[in-house]
Structure 1
C-alpha cells in the first residue's frame, strides 16, 4: 500500500525558507528569502490537510487550485504541479513573492486555525515556478492559429500583461501601450528588488514579446497618441493604467523641499538598480544616504520605502502611522522584516505640519483610537498638548494612490467614472459604457493587490474573446 504523502501537519512543523540575516540583507537589494530545496518543498507541501472545502483556494482572488499542486509537489510530481499552478495564474512566481499570503490563502488555512501553523503556500508556489523556468517547462507562447483581430491595451502593469498573455495565446494580435520605458508597471518600478528581483519581471516581459505581443513604450496616451486613434486601430481596447496619482498631505510647510512622493522615491531607486542615469538620485534629492528619514503611512508602499531607505544607508528611519500596529493596512510580515532591519515605528502619530525649507522636521500629533466609524474601524483622535517635532532630512509621503482623471486627460467623451474617479466598468467582464472598451485592475478597483489585477486581466481577456468571436460569427453569416 502506498504511503500517505499528505496530512503531515501534526508531525511536521511549519518551516519557512531561510531568511537572510538582517545585517547582511540591509546591505543589498536582493530578495531576503532563500529558495526551498526540493526535499524541503516536498516536506512543507505534505503538511496540507487536503480539506474538503479548501478555504485557501476560495480566499485566493485567482482561486488557484492550491491543494492539488501542494499534493503533486509532495509526491515529487513537480512539472504537473507547475501545470496546475499556471492554469489559473499568469504569473505564479510573482504572486509567490509579493502576495500578502498572511491575509489571503495562508491566513485562511484550516490547520492554522487548529494551531499547527499554516502551510507555506507562497514559498512553495515560488519554488514550483522558479524550478519550471530552470527546467525549461515554461513554454513559449505559440498560438495554434493566428487571428486577424487586434486588441490595444493601455498600461503594461500586471492587469494589462495578464490580459495580453491570455489574448495572445488565442492568436489575437496584441499591442500594449505604456508611459514607461520598460513594461511591468509597479512590478518594475514600484516594488523594490528585495521583494521582487527585476530579472523575474523582465523574463515575463521577454516571454510576451517573443510570443508576439507588441510593446509601444515611452508612450503617453493623450500626448503621443490619442485615445481615439488607439480605438480606431483596434477591435477592442483594454484600459489597465493603474492608479498613480499620489494622495497629498496639507499643513504648514507641506510644500518644502525634501518632502517627496513615495512612487518618485521608489522609482528612482529601482531605476538605479537597472543602471539607469537618475539625476534626482545622484543629486541626493531622492537618496536616503546619511539622512534622517521619516515615512508617513502604514501600507505596503510605506514598508517598501522604509526598507529601501535602510538599504540606501540612512542615518535613521522612522515610520509614522496614525493607528496602532493591529490596525495598520500593510502586511504584518513586512512590518516584522522592517523592524529586524532597524526601522522604528511610531504608532498612533500623525503629521500636522513641517518645519524648515528644506525640511528639518515633522510636527507630530500623538493620537488615540476612539469610537468605530461606519466601516467598524476605530477612528484616530488627537491627544491635545502632545505635539512634538520629529527631526527629518527627507520626508516620504506614502499615503496611497488615486486615479488620474482619464476622460479629461485623454479628451474622451462617454468614458464614465465613479465618484472616486475610477473608471466605471462591469463586474467580471470589465466592459465600460463605450462599445469595445474595457477596463481592469486598480483603475476600476482603486489601489489594490497585484493578484486582483491579474484576475481582472484574465477575466476581461475572456470577455474580449467572446466579443471577438461574436463579431467573427456575425461576419461569417
Structure 2
C-alpha cells in the first residue's frame, strides 16, 4: 500500500499520494461472520497517509470534531513516525479513543470537513486514529495514570459511553468512583446497539479492565430508582453524574405494523450478539426476505446483520435518495459490498400479512424530492398512483430514536426538565440540584457517542471544581 517515491515532508504530498483507507477483509469472507472487517495500516502506510495532511492554519477538521481533536498536530507526529507521542496527544483530548474511532461517523465530522474532501480525498483521519490507538496498546502505552486518592467519592449512573468516560476522568483525578447500572454487563449502547463487526466485544472489555485497574467499581443489575434512589446517592457520595441511556425506537405507524414479522432494530441486532440474557422475540431470518426501513447507521447495521444471519435477500427502503442518506458513506458502501439491495425514493404504505397474521409483503409508494434548504435534507412528497409491492418475510423499522423523559417522582422533583422531559444542565453540566451533574442522551436526547463523551469530560472537570469549592 505504501510508496517510497514521494517526499513525505513536502507541502504537496497530498497531490502525490493516493488516499487509502484501512485494509478491509473481502466482502464474501466478512459477510459470513461477526468479526471486525478492518485491519490496520502498517507503519509505512500510516506515515504516508498522515503526510497527506496539509496543516491548514485554520483546520476545519478540528472544528468539525465535537471534541476539538487536535488532528493536525498528531498528524504531523505520525508522519514523522513519532507514533507514541501522537497517540498520547490523541488520548489527552478524548476517552476510549479506540472505541469512539470505530463507531464515529467521521465522514460527517472531521473527514467530511477536510479541505481535501473535494480534491484528492480527505485525509484518512479515522483509519490513522485506529492505527495510533492500537499501536499504543501493542507497545504498552495505553494505560492511564492517576492522581493520588483524594478521599472523595463520586457515583456514576449508567455504564454507557458517557458513564465510562466520566468514570475514567474522575478516577484519573483521584476520586473513588462507583458505576451503577441496571444492565448485567457494562457498555450501554456499545454492547446493546453496536454489532461486533463494528466493535469487537474484546475491545470494550479491554477498556473496562483498564477502568477496574484504575479502581472504578461496577455495581450491575441494580434496579435504578427502586433499590437505588437519587436521595441515597446524594447521601452516600460527594457528587453524582447521571449518564444513563434515555432513548426509544421510533415506531412504525402504518397499517400492518403489528403483524408477526415486524420487529424493531435493536431486538433484531441483539438476538445473537448480546452477552446479556434478554427476553427477546425469536427472529430467524435464515433463507427469508428481510426489508429494513430507514437509512441511518442502525439501518445499515441491520442489513449487514441480516446477511450474516443467513437471509436470502436483504433490502433497504428509503424515502429519499442515496445522496441524502444519514448513514456514513462507508457504512452504505460496506452494506452494498456485502450484498444488500437498496430501493430509494420509496415510502412504506402498509405491511401485508397472510392468513396466519405473518408478514408476506410491503406496500410502497414512490416519492419526489423538493429543493433543499441550505445544509438541510430535501423534503419529499408521495406520488399518487405509483404504489408497488415487494415481498417480505421480515420488516425491520430502523427509523431513528426518540428521547425518553427522566424518571418522575419525589426523588427527582428538584430536577428542572426541558420540554421533552430531559434534564436541564448549566454550562458546567450541573443540574438544578447542587452536586448532581448530567450529560449525554438524558440531557440532549439521542445523539452521537462523542457528544456523550464531551459532556462527561466537561462534567468531570466541573465536579472537581465543585468539590474543591464546597470543601470536605
Match of 1:158 among 158, 161, 165: 161
Shift of 1:214: 0.9
1:351 aligns with 2:348: yes
Residue 459 (structure 1) shift: 0.8
1:376-455 pair list within 5 angstroms: 376-408=376-408, 412-427=412-427, 429-455=428-454
Aligned match of 2:4: none
Please list every run of 5 or more consecutive structure 1 residues that lacks an aligned counterpart in the other structure.
Answer: none
Q: Is the 8 A contact 2:247 2:441 kept in 1?
A: no
* CA distance in structure 2 between the partners assigned to 1:409 and 1:369 by the alignment: 45
- Residue aligning to 1:332: 329
1:44 lines up with 2:41 in the alignment: no
- How much does 1:411 deviate? 5.2
Q: CA deviation at 1:415?
A: 2.1
Aligned with residue 260 of structure 2, among 252, 257, 260: 257
Match of 1:175, SS?
strand
**How big is the shift at 1:390?**
2.4
- In 1, the alpha carbon distance for the partners of 2:34 and 2:24 equals 14
Q: Indicate yes or no: 2:248 matched with 1:245.
A: yes
In structure 2, do the counterparts of structure 1 residues 387 and 421 end up closer, same or farther at CA, with 3 Å as the change threshold? farther
Note the C-alpha offset of 1:230.
2.3
Helix, strand or coil for the counterpart of 1:361? strand
CA distance in 1, matches of 2:260, 2:429: 41
Shift of 1:361: 2.1
State the distance in 1 between where 2:358 and 2:237 align.
49
CA–CA separation in structure 2 for the residues paired with 1:377 and 1:35: 34
How far 1:406 sits from its partner (Å)?
1.9
Distance in 2 of aligned mates of 1:420 and 1:340? 40
Q: Does 1:184 align with 2:201?
A: no
Deviation at 1:358, TM superposition (A): 2.1
Structure 1 residue 86: deviation in Å? 0.4
Task: Give the C-alpha shift of residue 375 in structure 1.
Answer: 8.2
Contact 1:5–1:71, Cα closer than 8 Å, also in 2: no
Asked if 1 retains the 8 angstrom alpha-carbon contact of 2:8 and 2:51, the reply is: no
Distance in 1 between residues matched to 2:349 and 2:425, nearest whole Å: 37
Q: Number of aligned pairs?
A: 462
Match of 2:300 in 1: 303
How much has 1:362 moved relative to structure 2?
Answer: 2.1
1:7-18 paired onto structure 2 within 5 Å: 7=11, 8-18=13-23
Secondary structure of the structure 1 residue equivalent to 2:310: coil
TM-score (norm 1): 0.92
Measure the CA separation in 1 of the matches of 2:85 and 2:376: 44
Larger mean CA deviation between 156-165 and 353-362 belongs to 353-362
What SS class does the counterpart of residue 462 from structure 1 fall into? Answer: helix
1:382-427 Cα shifts (integer Å, max 9, x gaps): 1112222322222112111122232337852122322233322224
Provide the C-alpha distance between the structure 2 equivalents of 1:418 and 1:321, rounded to a whole number of angstroms. 32
Match of 2:142 among 138, 141, 150: 138
Q: CA deviation at 1:135?
A: 1.0
Q: Counterpart in 2 of 1:225?
A: 228
Distance 1:382 1:426 in 2: 43
Distance change (3 Å), C-alpha of 1:108 and 1:94: same
- Say which SS state the counterpart of residue 380 (structure 2) adopts: strand
CA distance in 1, matches of 2:287, 2:192: 23
Aligned-pair distance for 1:277?
5.9
Deviation at 1:232, TM superposition (A): 2.4
Give the TM-score, by structure 2 length.
0.93
* CA positional deviation for 1:31: 1.5
CA apart distance, 1:32: 1.5
1:305 partner SS: helix
Structure 2: runs of 5 or more not aligned: 1-6
Separation in structure 2 between the aligned mates of residue 30 and residue 6 of structure 1, nearest angstrom = 38
Distance of 2:227 and 2:345 partners within structure 1 = 45
Match of 2:3 in 1: none
Q: Relative to 1, partners in 2 of residues 1:6 and 1:73: Cα closer, same or farther, differing over 3 Å?
A: farther
> What is the DSSP-based 3-state SS (H/G/I as helix, E as strand, rest coil) of the residue aligned with 1:122?
helix
User: By how many angstroms is 1:85 displaced?
Assistant: 0.8
Instruction: Give the whole-Å Cα distance in 1 for the aligned partners of 2:247 and 2:112.
Output: 29
Q: SS at the partner of 2:77?
A: helix
C-alpha RMSD of the superposition = 2.0
2:19·2:121 contact (CA, 8 Å) conserved in 1?
A: yes
1:184 and 1:251, CA in 2 relative to 1: closer, same or farther beyond 3 A?
same
